[in-house]
Amino acid sequence: MCTGYSSALGALRLGERNLVSIEVDPGVAERAAASLKTAGFSPALVVGNGLAGHEDGGPYDRLIATCSIRHLPLPWLYQVTPEGKILVTFSGWSFAFGQALLTVTEPGCATGRFLPGHISFMIARQHDRPPRGNLTLLAGDERPAEINPALLSDWTGKWVAQLAAPSAEVLGSGGHQILMDVATGSHARTRPNPDGGWTVTQRGPLRLWDQVEDAIKEWQSQGAPHQEGFGITIDGDGQRVWIGNEDGPGWNLPV
């Protein structure tokens, strides 16, 4: 809901009786309601956890998320009707983003593709990264890096890195990249070599650069498409993002 702008557009297009808008912050919800009233709209406004949806207002034909999420909340898949649509932006702790349009195929299941363009939203509070202290980079195992670390500064390259190492943050720029996993303390960092190429240092139980490197190579082998070359399938086996088609290479989202 935030400022109420998206809710006003929905009310204008669909009619306020056909719209339910949810905001988790009571103060923000109050200000948005006031703005909507000034604009002449009075849709159903709910103060609560949007990730849980609003079962009493359903079932819904369409669901639009105006925050980003690490994985799709399962209640949405039961509150949107089969053949209904969900428009949502997926992100993560590295703040890489991809917006997808999904079709609910049956209760609890959906599939769809990611869209062209470059779209970002603030991440849902419940999906935000945990707090961490000062970043301390210690000695670790070194080897040559097999990909250009600057690919992690590319819009889709960073997205692929986030899929491969979902519990890590990607920091840095160009040839100097840092991956930091808060839960395990694992980290990896790259540096350019004076005579060309790059060196990666890894430490901890997770070999973060290995994970990212393998994913980037797979992405490149598929022609390094933008997110519109990716899709997502959600069913009882989990939530999987794939390249090309459902049988293509892919990665599971954290749930």
Q: Parallel, antiparallel, or unpaired: how do β-strands 60-69 and 80-90 relate?
A: parallel
User: In this structure, are 72 and 11 located in the same domain?
Assistant: yes
User: In this structure, are 244 and 187 located in the same domain?
Assistant: no
> What is the tens place of the pLDDT at every residue in 124-168?
999 999 887 777 788 899 999 999 999 999 999 999 999 999 999
User: In this structure, are 121 and 150 located in the same domain?
Assistant: no
Give the C-alpha separation, 14 to 244, whole Å. 34
Mean pLDDT, rounded, for 240-246? 96
User: In this structure, are 189 and 243 located in the same domain?
Assistant: no
User: In this structure, are 15 and 122 located in the same domain?
Assistant: yes
User: In this structure, are 200 and 232 located in the same domain?
Assistant: no
User: In this structure, are 159 and 247 located in the same domain?
Assistant: no
Other Cβ atoms closer than 10 A to 103 = 15
* Per-residue pLDDT at 136: 77
Question: In this structure, what CATH number is given to the domain that contains residue 105?
Answer: 3.40.50.150
Number of helical H runs and strand E runs in the chain: 5, 14
User: In this structure, are 48 and 114 located in the same domain?
Assistant: yes
User: In this structure, are 194 and 229 located in the same domain?
Assistant: no
What is the residue range of 184's domain? 135-221
Residues of the chain with pLDDT > 90: what percent?
A: 77
Give the chain's mean pLDDT.
93
User: In this structure, are 67 and 149 located in the same domain?
Assistant: no
Question: In this structure, what CATH number is given to the domain that contains residue 172?
Answer: 3.30.310
If phi over 0 gives left and psi between -120 and 50 gives alpha, with beta otherwise, what is residue 30? alpha
Count of domains forming the chain: 2
pTM (two decimals) = 0.92
User: In this structure, are 33 and 103 located in the same domain?
Assistant: yes
User: In this structure, are 232 and 121 located in the same domain?
Assistant: yes
> What is the tens place of the pLDDT at every residue in 38-92?
988 888 889 999 999 999 988 999 999 999 999 999 999 999 999 999 999 999 9
